[in-house]
Amino acid sequence: MSAVGSAPALRDVPGPSAVGGGAKRFFELTWLLASTDFKLNYLDTAFGYLWSLMRPLLLFGVLYTVFTKVLRFGGDIPHYADLVLFNIILYGFFSESTTRSVGCIPGSEHIVRKTQFPRLVIPLSVVLTGLFNLCLSLIAVFVFLIATGVTPRLTWLALPLILALLLLLTAGVSTLLSVLYVRFRDIAQIWGVLALAIFYASPVLYPVEKVPHSLQWLLLINPLAPLLTAGRRLVIDPNAPSTVDIVGSAWGIIGPALVLVVICVTAFWLFNRAAPQVAEEL
């Protein structure tokens, strides 16, 4: 119990904040919230893992059939099926985490209004849950890749680097959405449409070299484009062109990197500013 006798000194109470309370506690809380949520949603239900794979697999089946059989697309792209599946899983992590983050602060009202803890834990734990799920899904993807004849390569080991950048982007967008939603409840609908637009504007179903010249500016502002393109080069087809090759300058990397930085800085700034009042506005 409390140390009677050696009375602790009086200290100012910290007040609510985005990140206060120490890095260790921040990480422990994020990890605990994410792992609890992950176990609840993916492991506790019967066939939880298979179930979580069903959605992306079904989406893959539909899109792959439509693109190859109806639109007759992709015949000239090596390992097109593998590319689509791999991209859908990566994009799925981004879209699922961001979508679930939109309402995560009001959704955690029961803890926000009752306890003091670094508020940024809430959106980040949602993203971490998504990351757990992504890692499990990737196992299935790699089984599929090997089964369909993609040769394992040393460059596969560089995938975590891509995932780390994807994680950063997802965390930034999720944080931004979660804080905006507290003020503007129609963010949920807006993001629903926007996420769909981003899906088609990113090289998920098509590789970068198929992007017509008039639309190449999209590659300059979309951080997902160089990530998916680099993922394809590292994992599926080492001979595929990079974003820099297509755009024709280093701006193919610098542009999206700048966008990524702007998103993350804005998200953190807004969240940090709103965190002390967030419990009052729910």
Partner 1 sequence: MPMAERSIAVEVEDLHKSFRVPSRRIDTLKERALHLLSPVEYTTFEALRGLSFEIAEGECFGVVGRNGSGKTTLLKLLASIYRPDRGRIRVAGTLAPFIELSVGFNPNLTARNNVLLNGVMMGSTPKEARRRFDEVIEFAELEEFVELPLRNYSSGMSMRLGFSLMVFSEADVMLVDEVLAVGDASFAQKCADVFQRMRDEGRTIVLVTHDMDSLKAMCDRAILIEDGVIELAGDADPVAHRYLQINLSGPDGPPPIAVDGGGAQDAARIARTWLEDSSGERARSFEHGSPTRLCVDIDVRARIERPVLAFEICAADGTQVFGAPLALAEQDGRLEAGEQVEVRATVSNLLTPGRYVVNCALSQNGIDAVDLLRPAAQFVVTGEHQFGYVELEWECEIERRPRASAVEAVDR
- Residue with smaller CB distance to partner 1, 26 or 91: 26
Q: Which of 80, 117, 199, 271 binds partner 1 (CB under 8 A)?
A: 117
**From the list 72, 75, 76, 115, which residue makes contact with partner 1 (rule: CB under 8 A)?**
115
Distance in Å, CB of 25 to partner 1, minimum: 8
Distance CA(166)–CA(256), nearest Å, equals 12
Contact pick of 55, 153, 183, 273 for partner 1 (by CB under 8 A): 183
Per-residue x/- mask for partner 1, residues 241 to 280, rule CB under 8 A? -----------------------------------xx-xx
Exposure string for 197-220, b = 16+ CB within 10 A, e = fewer: ebbebbbbbbbbeebeeeebeebb
- Quote the tokens at residue 126: 């949602």
User: Looking at beta carbons only, is 148 or 277 nearer to partner 1?
Assistant: 277
CB 171: neighbour CB atoms within 10 A?
25
Is 15 among the residues that bind partner 1 (CB under 8 A)?
A: yes
Binding partner 1 (rule: CB under 8 A), the pick from 69, 72, 110, 213 is: 110
Q: Is 197 in the site for partner 1 (CB under 8 A)?
A: no
List the one residue from 33, 84, 205, 228 that touches partner 1 (CB under 8 A).
Answer: 33
Q: How far is the CB of 33 from partner 1 (least distance, A)?
A: 7
Task: Tell whether the torsion through CA atoms of 269, 275, 276 and 280 is positive or negative.
Answer: positive
Token pair 């176990």 is found at 39
Residue 2 binding partner 1, by CB under 8 A: yes
Nearer to partner 1, 106 or 241 (CB): 106
For residue 243 the two structure tokens come to 């974003």
- What is the distance between the alpha carbons of residues 211 and 227, in angstroms, rounded to a whole number? 16
Q: Please work out the total of residues on this chain that contact partner 1, with binding judged by CB under 8 A.
A: 40
Phi, psi angles (nearest 5°) of residue 238: -65, -15
- Which residues, other chains included, contact 253 with Cβ-Cβ below 8 Å and sequence gap of 6+? 226, 243, 244
User: Minimum Å distance from CB 47 to partner 1?
Assistant: 19
Binding status of residue 48 toward partner 1 by CB under 8 A: no
- State the Cα–Cα distance between residues 117 and 63, nearest whole angstrom: 43
Closest CA to 230 of 267, 257, 263, 199: 257
Nearest to 244 by CA among 262, 225, 268, 263: 225
Q: Which is closer to partner 1, CB of 33 or CB of 228?
A: 33
Among 99, 116, 266, 272, which residue interacts with partner 1 (rule: CB under 8 A)?
Answer: 116
Residue 196 CB, nearest approach to partner 1 (Å): 18
The residue written with tokens 């040393």 in the block is 154
- Shortest Cβ distance from residue 213 to partner 1 (Å)? 34
Q: Does 111 bind partner 1 (CB under 8 A)?
A: yes
Nearer to partner 1, 249 or 277 (CB): 277
- Tell me: does residue 13 bind partner 1 (CB under 8 A): yes
- Closest by CA to 84, choosing from 203, 243, 237, 223, is 203
